[in-house]
Amino acid sequence: MVRSKSEETASRQNSAIQKIEEEMKRLQKDAAGRDAVILQLKEEVKAAHLARESSLVIPLQATAKTIPSGDLICWKNSAFVFGVNAVTTGIDGVARVDSPGTYQVAVVVNHA
């Protein structure tokens, strides 16, 4: 049986449409996966902003270098921070924090 030209054309078009639909489904699935990743990243950024906004600054002042090595710095509180019993004098060069948690430390050294 010989197919007519119009039947062959219709068959090719149906095949092309099927391939396009399969590709569209794949792309939609891919986009849904990316949306989930984007949502997760947005939540992480939001959590990081909240953590930064609620951060607590505990000012310390270096008082002296330890003797004899001179490679550790003694620290003392330079301001009272309400509600935090955090930092004690660090005679051994360590600033101790009594409250559990994750801390970010920044140090500025002005050497004369």
Annotated domain spans of the chain = 1-54, 56-112
pLDDT category at 26 given cuts 50, 70, 90 is: very high
Q: In angstroms, rounded to a whole number, what is the distance separating the alpha carbons of residues 19 and 47? A: 42
Distance separating alpha carbons of residues 53 and 91, to the nearest angstrom: 31
pLDDT digits (tens, 9 = 90+) for 61-75: 666 666 666 666 666
Phi and psi (nearest 5°) for 87? Answer: -110, 130
Question: Residue 60 above 80 pLDDT?
Answer: no
**What per-residue confidence (pLDDT) applies to 105?**
72
Cis status, amide bond into 59, omega within 30 of 0: no
Distance spanning both ends of the chain, measured CA to CA: 99
**Which residue in the block uniquely carries the two structure tokens 């996966």?**
33
Mean pLDDT for the stretch of residues 96-105: 69
Query: pLDDT band for position 47 (50/70/90)?
Result: confident
- Which pair of structure tokens corresponds to residue 97? 């924090």
Which of 74, 71, 69 is closest to 91 using CA atoms?
74
pTM of the predicted structure, to 2 decimals: 0.39
What 3-state class would DSSP assign to 11? helix
* Residue 28 pLDDT greater than 90, yes or no: yes
